[in-house]
Amino acid sequence: MNLHSEYKQKLVTPEKAVSVVKSGDWVEYGQFATQAVVLDKALAARRDELRNVKIRSTTRAMGIPEVVKVDPKAEHFTYNSLHYTGVDRESQKMGNCWFVPINFHEVPSWYRNTMEVDVAMIATTPMDEHGYFNFGPSCSFSRAICEKAKILILETNPNIPRCLGGRDEAIHISEVDYIVEADWAFPEMPFPEPTEIDKKIAQLIVNEVEDGSCLQLGQGGMPIAVGWFLAEAGLKDLGIHSEIFCDSMVGMIESGAVTNARKNIDRHKVVYTFSLGSKKTYDFINNNPQLAIHPVDYVNDPCIVQQLDKFISINNCIEVDLFTQVASESSGPKHLAGTGGQLDFALGAYSSKGGKSFICMSSTYNKNGVLASRVVPMLKPGTIVTTPRSVVSYVVTEYGIAYLKGKSTWERAEAIIAIAHPDFREELIKDAEKLGIWRGSNKQ
């Protein structure tokens, strides 16, 4: 059978495609900006026919899923996410979203070894002349999902950028059960504009970056600010090896700061596993041979990261306690984000020759109109530790950089208090004394 005939045979309506879903099934919706849209709507229409359908996705960039809207009490559909966005938090408020804790680089092996996938609904580019569908800017573990799925449905969309590999960036029509055609607008997800505090933190970090460094930037305004500063810092031959490819990286490349020429591996290539950003970013990554998208078990593997000299990892957090435990996922039991690749890159960057791992935060935040410290005596009950104190290297606020490796509890308390907001330092010292991690000879 030729490609055209096979495609025509597998092309069905969304309603026909989702008819294969049965009560009790595990259903995959895809990742990031390439998740099921028309198939989600068609599945939601079957609500009253189904019970206990369990759905998984990662970092939803679209609006609230239709299956959540029609079933907020989770009587028919149970929606699960491997990393929270604002959409996931809203779904949770409605009563139908649960978090799946991950070490990001391990996820492909989870699917291949232990996860159940009855039906996978993956958004892709249209088929090319060779019979392949590209996963677009969502390569992380799409291939692993497809391999495990008992039934594979593709939702093709001409608006999805085609991202070159790397590996595992595409799937052949011979492996597909059903095809549904769609034409929704590809979701943009611009990150917040950096604040003045973000810019202060970014400048502190930029001073730690050398020519030939290889960068990983996390999500949020502060890492974006770092990218902007680096684009103008006059540094040479920077590299990028990052789970996310985002807007500021386009500027870094266009400025000439990023050449990838000194990378130990994947030389002359920007390596990433997914992209979220503006249309400018999506246009830049489309069919661009300067970039190579890989699955996350390559990009985030600490054993791969450590092979890149001068690796600089930059990520955000919510708060740090006086024991220097880092929380980036929740405040108490209130879930806000996910582990993502923070732990992966903290481990890999430290093992890199000349590498540095930075965990960043503003020193304060506004809590009901009152200034509150992000350096706290102890994490609130229910707060998730994302990066354990034994792994943390550098913590950065607008007041400076604290290096923590090899330091005792009293030294850590002293270092972290020194970069807290000045208005809270005296009280934090008293807290450290109560906790038994402050010496009389500590700096006052």
Report DSSP letters for 370-400, one per residue. Answer: EEEESEESSPPTTPPPSB-TTT--EEEETTE
What confidence score (pLDDT) does residue 1 get?
Answer: 67
- The CATH fold of domain 196-434: Glutaconate Coenzyme A-transferase (3.40.1080)
Would you call 71 helix, strand, or coil by DSSP?
A: coil
* Mean pLDDT (the chain, rounded): 95
The secondary structure of residue 35, as a DSSP letter, is E
Calculate mean pLDDT across residues 97-124: 96
What is the rounded CA–CA span in Å between residue 88 and residue 402? 33
Calculate mean pLDDT across residues 37-62: 96
CA torsion through residues 161, 63, 152, 1, sign: negative
- What phi-psi label fits residue 207: left (phi over 0), alpha (psi between -120 and 50 degrees) or beta? alpha
Share of the chain above pLDDT 70, in %: 99
Q: What six digits make up the tokens of 376?
A: 């706290």
Check whether 444 has a pLDDT greater than 70.
no
Calculate mean pLDDT across residues 111-136: 97
Check whether 431 has a pLDDT greater than 80.
yes
What confidence score (pLDDT) does residue 340 get?
Answer: 87
Multiple choice CATH, 10-181, 3.30.300.10, 3.40.1080.10, 3.40.50.2000, 1.10.287.130: 3.40.1080.10
What is the rounded CA–CA span in Å between residue 219 and residue 303? 22
Calculate mean pLDDT across residues 81-108: 93
Write out pLDDT tens, residues 199-248. Answer: 899 999 999 999 999 999 987 777 778 888 888 888 999 999 999 999 88
What confidence score (pLDDT) does residue 284 get?
Answer: 98
Catalytic residue among 243, 319, 398, 414: 243
- Model confidence band, residue 70 (pLDDT cutoffs 50, 70, 90): very high
Element (H, E) at 30: strand 26-31
What confidence score (pLDDT) does residue 56 get?
Answer: 97
- Same topology for domains 10-181 and 196-434, yes or no? yes
Element (H, E) at 178: strand 178-181
Check whether 255 has a pLDDT greater than 60.
yes
Q: What six digits make up the tokens of 237?
A: 């031959």
Among candidate residues 326, 38, 335, 362, the one with its CA nearest the CA of residue 179: 38
Residue 440 · residue 429 · CB < 8 Å: no
Check whether 327 has a pLDDT greater than 70.
yes
- Model confidence band, residue 192 (pLDDT cutoffs 50, 70, 90): confident
Cα 315-318-319 angle, rounded to 5 deg? 110
- In the annotation, is 243 catalytic? yes
Write out pLDDT tens, residues 355-391. Answer: 999 999 999 999 889 999 999 999 999 999 999 999 9
- Model confidence band, residue 328 (pLDDT cutoffs 50, 70, 90): very high
Question: What is the pTM assigned to this prediction?
Answer: 0.95
For the chain, the domains span: 10-181, 196-434
Candidate from 40-49, 192-201, 265-274, 293-302 with smallest mean pLDDT: 192-201
Check whether 99 has a pLDDT greater than 80.
yes
Check whether 193 has a pLDDT greater than 90.
no
| Burial (Cβ within 10 Å: 0-12, 13-18, ≥19) of residue 2 | exposed
Check whether 422 has a pLDDT greater than 90.
yes
